[in-house]
Chains A and B, each alone.
Chain A
């Protein structure tokens, strides 16, 4: 059972009612007050006939997870509400977004995929053609490689930041599609080919060079998301899925694949999505997302109303296979305990971890760190600074920390450790 949570809205409502009366001085007071309030009076459901069946269901009125969509711009992003989600699946309508030129309107019936370049038979496929090939369905996370940048700068460590704003460019879905290898087999890749260019059908015609090795390994042409057609925000009618790799490379609205013997050096693999290091170089084609974990509860702006038993929980993932271990610390990294991993633990997919904790009411800093099957341990921010310097712009997989004050107020706490 999850602990009862006070939503942000509930807190604001409660607070606005009683702040003026001087009844609450802290957020914790507000939480205690809210807990004492009588539940909203609703008609007794055992005495009122219910609704009929309907063609499309809807969420319970009180349950409305929302993306965080701030900038109204063609090139912008929105984050998944990690604090509101359970298990590992992201409901498709709150999957995170990152678009470089908005979401195109595409009619499936007229969408085509052109596959050409170093192939025996250049071909054009309509969606009906693609969908006819033998399909697979797999659970994979997608994470934007810019995710978590808010917890990296020495000089700007936030305290009042939600896990959604910090790490919400991460979502997990069951993807259905056709292995790209099947299509490449159909067109016949020529000897000497080693890369391909994947191009989207948005008004940025977003393009990335992808090593052929990945294309032949586990890449998918995905048209299904959580059991239904992929959403326009995720690339309808079809996107490239590159399990475990940065989101930007998994080109949405895919319309063209050119098989080549070298990278094209598009803007998204030179000017952007490259990582300047402190030694005067920049890492390029840094596709794989390294192991990372993030706590989703307790996080800001939650307030623990009482000492006692609480379940610390969150998500862990790695682009290099499976997560093998997640540890949780409640003393700022002094000591660590193994968290329980909720199976099945799938490769290149998020795993839910849990750690039951008895809070003694004193200030605490809770942290998590993930280990993957290669033996890689999620580093501290100090380790990343040392390895990469301050100027790197992607792949912020360092450990996070949340501070619980003695009055139960939770804030982002990494600043206390650096």
Chain B
């Protein structure tokens, strides 16, 4: 029953690549997970208030949902980058020691470089990820303005936005990423074929 409802839901939502997992064969049957006498709701746990949700709901979607107010320029971003990022990503984002953020290799070979410029399909992922995880030793210290700025800087050095670009909740989701259309749904399905 439950499963049938969900599958109907999937068919309605034609949004985003939906991997095919239905051919997985005999999957574990959870029919025994809920006893026959289980109530429709147990009512364990508490309702979450709007404020409670807002406290943790930090993710940013590719269409920009979740992006806060604020804005930042490439020039401001360069200052933020020098203060908070170069120790691990290098003065120009290419030297490391940690992940290379700027891809310098020309297009041709795929993937030219596994960096923001060479590989990342969505610019919004930068906001989502930096909010969660960067700078690595002090995650969460950047303000929204500072994040928009450092993202503008990273995108500019990757040759994706111009020197005078301003990043905000409107412009960031509109940035067109070079690798955007290269991502495809997983077509492995088991069976005789090696993919």
Contact = CB atoms under 8 A, between A and B. Distances in A.
A261 to B, nearest CB: 5
Interface string A20-38: 0000000000000000000
Contacts of A217: 3, 21, 27, 30
Contacts, number: 260
Given A185-B40, A265-B121, A288-B19, 10 more contacts: A136-B30, A189-B9, A204-B132, A207-B128, A217-B27, A243-B28, A264-B62, A276-B119, A282-B184, A393-B114
Interface of A: 74, 100-101, 114-116, 121-126, 129-130, 132-134, 136, 138, 179, 181-182, 185-186, 189, 191-195, 197, 199, 203-207, 211-214, 216-218, 243-244, 255-256, 258, 260-267, 270-271, 274, 276, 278, 280-288, 290-291, 319-322, 347-348, 372-377, 379, 383-384, 386-388, 391, 393
B48 A114 contact: yes
B83 interface: no
Contacts of B185: 283-285
Given A193-B9, A283-B186, A134 B38 contact: yes
Contacts of A266: 59, 125, 128-129
Contact of B190 (A191, A243, A285, A372): A372
B79 interface: no
A26 to B, nearest CB: 39
Interface of B: 2-3, 6-10, 12-13, 15-19, 21-28, 30, 32-35, 38, 40-42, 44-48, 52-53, 56-62, 110-111, 114, 116, 119-122, 124-125, 128-129, 132-133, 136, 139, 179, 182-192, 194-195
B6 A265 contact: no
A281 B182 contact: yes
B26 A262 contact: no
B42 A258 contact: no
Contacts of B59: 197, 199, 207, 258, 264, 266
Given A134-B34, A258-B57, A274-B183, A203 B133 contact: yes
Given A101-B136, A267-B125, A124 B6 contact: no
12 contacts: A179-B34, A207-B59, A207-B132, A213-B10, A266-B59, A276-B110, A278-B110, A320-B190, A321-B24, A373-B26, A387-B195, A391-B111
Given A123-B45, A217-B27, A263-B16, A281 B21 contact: no
A267 B26 contact: no
Contacts of B32: 136
A383 B194 contact: yes
Contacts of A192: 9, 12-13
Contact of B111 (A218, A270, A282): A282
